[in-house]
Structure 1
Amino acid sequence: MRASADANGSGGQRRSLRVRTAEDQRSHVPVHVVWEITLACNLKCGHCGSRAGKRRANELSTAECIDVVRQLAAAGTREITLIGGEAYLRRDWLEIAAEIARHGIHCGVQTGARGLTRERIAKAHAAGVRAIGVSVDGLRDLHDSLRGVAGSHDQAIRAIHDIRDVGIEPGVNTQINARSMHQLPQIFDEIVAAGAKYWQVQLTVAMGNAVDNSAILLQPHQIIDVVDCLAGLYHRGRDLGLRLLPGNSIGYFGRHEPHWRSMTSDIEHWSGCTAGETTLGLEADGTIKGCPSLPKSHFAGGESRSTSIDEALRNLAARTVRRDGNRGRSFCGSCYYWNTCRGGCTWVSHVLEGKRGDNPYCYYRATTLAKRGLREKIVKVAEAPDEPFAVGRFEVRLERVDGSRAPRSLGLDDKRRKRGRLVLCQSCEEYIYAGERLCPHCGASSGNHPGDPSAADDQLALDLRKSIDEVERHGRRILEIAAMPGENEQMPSPE
């Protein structure tokens, strides 16, 4: 059985506060809120989507922030993550954190950790902060280059140790781009050694500074190597006590999906963007958005000085993926999984072409095209304005592996779009729709069509295989221990 993720996202037994219920979705409860409380920052990240650095001129006052916390508590929010810029550069950040904790909401902080001293961490813990995630974007030289400040890597690793020693379970957040993708195994080893217990990974997305430095962006076909690597690290992490959490931009389906998407012991899969539905983002000036990463130009539901949280949620309802009427474009528009996935992360697709519904950073999409000798490439055709959360414009091109252009008509899914409940194929462990007689991925008899006596419970089958894996892993460990000489053990002398 897979361990449930606790409130901090690690492998404990408590049910995660972020797990959305059907009632949460129906009622649009803002279960998880990511709140930029200031845009002030002491780093100079070349991939920063918000172009953080200076404070906003009209950031909310302490009293206004306290009122926002009260409204979120009344709306049913269970977790708030404070970000910046750098959250602790705001003088009243501990007062805001304490108010969040006072309302029984789990309070976390995401930080670049430059200047995050042990004293600050201890004060955060006393105020009620129970999760701190530290950004580590590469080994020392790469991290310092991406973050724009020499020594920032060493400060980040030191902060992980300090967070652990103070009594907060430390986590790490890593941006994956063309420069960092090859260092993922080494980053894994480094953060495990530092004591991290959870690792959220996400793609560097084409917004703000990342548009200016677009050479660092992954090309869509590289998502195959990235996801294959991360999936292997996920399984290694389970053995070492590190929970790898794929962010919403890491997608979707394919052979790894049954293993790592769930925050509970159930087998779960990507089921669509939750922006504006059970997730909210807040900017320091009070802007209420469906997601902290989305630009306010298209995804704001109001400002807290003039709009209540409840009213903003109503304003955002028509822009959620289940209500906006988007039917998808290109491969996504033809995709077998569209009615479940709905185009993946809204942020990833919107920043490329100005609208959602066509997400080239999809594992299933990239692997399907690769089987035909095709791949996709993004090409920047317009720069982003010099303002927070600004987007440029990119063209998604289809090409053959030799780099020659291919017609877009070749880049569609060859499996017909379906609707219904997803189950696992017992042969290839990829998701298929219940009622399919043959798996559209491997061609095997699915064993799940009505009346088939050989139908197997996919949950039971996967749990059984995982149990066998666990037994084998423990067996290997016993053999390793048995082969180790004890500290005082000596070989017997020949008689």
Structure 2
Amino acid sequence: MILRRTWNKKTLVTLATPGTRQTIASCRMCMVPRLMSTPILIRMPTRAPMPTEPKARRPARAVRPEDLERGTPLYCVWEITLACDLGCRHCGSRAGKARPDELSTKECLEVVDQLAKLGIREVTLIGGEAYLREDWPQIAAEITRQGMVCSMTTGGRDLSAKRVEQAVESGIRIISVSLDGLQQTHDALRGRKGAFESALASARRIADSPIRLGVNTQINRLSLPELPALVDVLVELGINAWQLQLTVPMGRAADRPELLLQPYDLLEVFPLLAYLKATKLSPRGIGLYPGNNIGYFGPYEQMLRFRGEEGVHWSGCSAGKWSIGLEADGKIKGCPSLPTQHYTGANVRDLSIAETVATTPELKYLRERTVEDLWGYCRTCYYAAECKAGCSWTSHSLLGKTGNNPYCIHRAMDFERRGQRERVVKVEGASGKPFDTGRFEIVVEEMEERAPLELRTILGRSQEEVASLSGDAPSIWSLEHIRQALKRS
């Protein structure tokens, strides 16, 4: 598996894998690599047609023309409890115990009514672990009754047959199970031995039900080289969609800087995802959904961004504009992942959700930002007005404020062209509370001379090793390497 990218907008550089014939063509903004049967550099027009693939199902939360005039959120991610039966080493909310004053059933049903009146079209129930709250089927059923799509994200440690049946009866349409690598890697990241097999068992129960099955995966220094093998597992499960996001230094992940990718690692992440989409996902009708912190622009935007084949591209953080987040004790934020201390607009016990969205400065700031609010590299970027520094959660978790985000493929390629790279360095630890962050600094340094194309590695693992890794393998890493990556510092 030969991985390559280029910043030269006049040419395309190919990806190559024996036996691969599918072509990935260019995006209209720049260019995307192609997949050929042998490693070779090829010059070609940058406006070749996109590959034919199954028509992706448009989520209920997708913005429609009529939504632009109304301008209120369409999607809500709702943490209904912070209780959790896993102990994930990268959990941003440090989930485990329920919050002291979580909303009652009556209050939750009132929240559902408010969401429907606001115009929310999809609600995703999360935790902690959502199914640990006894009234979750009642909440889900009310969401469905009010005409909204209800989905759920789970670690899948104990999504029993009974719970899947309850999900079906309550009208849940989609359940996404977290899988962060192969067995040994996943178990270590999730903090429980047997978590991988439990998640697979839960996924199979979902696949055997009328509910659509998704998987969500965090990309970090342990999971990245295992993604091709993990995709083989996902294909066997029969998933409908795969959502990916970068691990962000919030919560327990802030305690483990060695787990985080560096910005220059995106130079390997993006061609790998392009390869997986073209060769393993699209041919099987599996949708790839890059999370909001996987971006931005550059040669892979149209191919990897959901519905990118229709000309869709990243258009800025949707927090407070098209999405909101609710915490289990009633706090309202523009995004469920944003730090509670800085981005809570109000509590549903004190102010309605509609009023919070419309009037509180914490949510208004997120949706009304301009280029004037950007700083550092992002302030001067060609895409500044459209991108607005990408994911607010990522930039604040790293640097203590929004407006500058080094985790960007366009930016990484620009630095590579100059013979430089950016590295993030931890300078301050996190407090140990849910949704807490430390602080990192960006160091610009000379880029090391790169090996020839065929000898380049993915985080030190050869391309051949990554390509040949089986989904049945415990991990690509030794146990000692995993322990070191998860060490607190």
Please indicate, yes or no, whether the TM-score normalized by the shorter chain is above 0.5.
yes
Query: Where does residue 212 of structure 2 map in the other structure?
Result: 169
Query: Where does residue 240 of structure 1 map in the other structure?
Result: 284
Distance 1:231 1:54 in 2: 39
Distance 2:306 2:190 in 1: 31
1:433-455 per-position Cα deviation (integer Å, ceiling 9, x unaligned): xxxxxxxxxxxxxxxxxxxxxxx
Distance 1:313 1:175 in 2: 29
Distance 1:52 1:265 in 2: 37
- Give 1:90's match in structure 2, choosing from 126, 133, 145: 133
Shift of 1:20: 1.0
Change (3 A) 1:329 1:64: same
Query: Where does residue 336 of structure 1 map in the other structure?
Result: 382
Query: Where does residue 346 of structure 1 map in the other structure?
Result: 392
- Equivalences for 1:448-459 in 2 at 5 Å? none
Change (3 A) 1:263 1:65: farther
- Give 1:110's match in structure 2, choosing from 153, 156, 180: 153
Query: Where does residue 310 of structure 2 map in the other structure?
Result: 266
Whether the aligned pair in 1 keeps the contact of 2:320 and 2:335 (CA below 8 Å) is yes
1:358 maps to 2:404: yes
Change (3 A) 1:376 1:297: same
- Give 1:24's match in structure 2, choosing from 67, 90, 95: 67
Structure 2: gaps spanning 5 or more residues: 1-48, 450-489
1:183-232 per-position Cα deviation (integer Å, ceiling 9, x unaligned): 11111111111111100000100100001112101111001211111122
1:128-161 per-position Cα deviation (integer Å, ceiling 9, x unaligned): 1110000000000000000000000011111111
What is the DSSP-based 3-state SS (H/G/I as helix, E as strand, rest coil) of the residue aligned with 1:293?
A: coil
Distance 1:27 1:346 in 2: 23
What is the DSSP-based 3-state SS (H/G/I as helix, E as strand, rest coil) of the residue aligned with 1:35?
A: strand
Change (3 A) 1:77 1:135: same
1:288 maps to 2:332: yes
1:367 maps to 2:413: yes
Distance 1:264 1:72 in 2: 29
Shift of 1:262: 3.4
Query: Where does residue 103 of structure 2 map in the other structure?
Result: 60
Whether the aligned pair in 1 keeps the contact of 2:370 and 2:388 (CA below 8 Å) is no
Query: Where does residue 76 of structure 1 map in the other structure?
Result: 119
Change (3 A) 1:129 1:392: same
Query: Where does residue 383 of structure 1 map in the other structure?
Result: 429
Shift of 1:300: 1.3
Distance 2:265 2:367 in 1: 26
Distance 2:252 2:288 in 1: 26
Query: When the two structures are superposed, what TM-score results if normalisation uses the length of structure 1?
Result: 0.78
Whether the aligned pair in 1 keeps the contact of 2:370 and 2:385 (CA below 8 Å) is no
Query: Where does residue 399 of structure 1 map in the other structure?
Result: 445
What is the DSSP-based 3-state SS (H/G/I as helix, E as strand, rest coil) of the residue aligned with 2:325?
A: strand
How big is the alpha-carbon RMSD for the aligned residues of Structure 1 and Structure 2?
A: 1.9
Distance 1:79 1:231 in 2: 28
For 2:432, the aligned partner's letter is: D
Structure 1: gaps spanning 5 or more residues: 6-10, 404-495
Q: Percent identity at matched positions?
A: 47
Change (3 A) 1:4 1:74: farther
Distance 1:144 1:339 in 2: 41
Query: Where does residue 44 of structure 2 map in the other structure?
Result: none
Distance 1:349 1:84 in 2: 23
Whether the aligned pair in 2 keeps the contact of 1:4 and 1:13 (CA below 8 Å) is no
Distance 1:2 1:24 in 2: 28
Question: Which is greater in Rg?
Answer: 1
Distance 2:93 2:78 in 1: 13
1:301 maps to 2:345: yes
Shift of 1:323: 3.3
Query: When the two structures are superposed, what TM-score results if normalisation uses the length of structure 2?
Result: 0.79
Give the count of matched residue pairs.
398
Shift of 1:271: 0.4
- Equivalences for 1:94-243 in 2 at 5 Å? 94-236=137-279, 237-243=281-287
Query: Where does residue 21 of structure 2 map in the other structure?
Result: none
Change (3 A) 1:4 1:53: farther
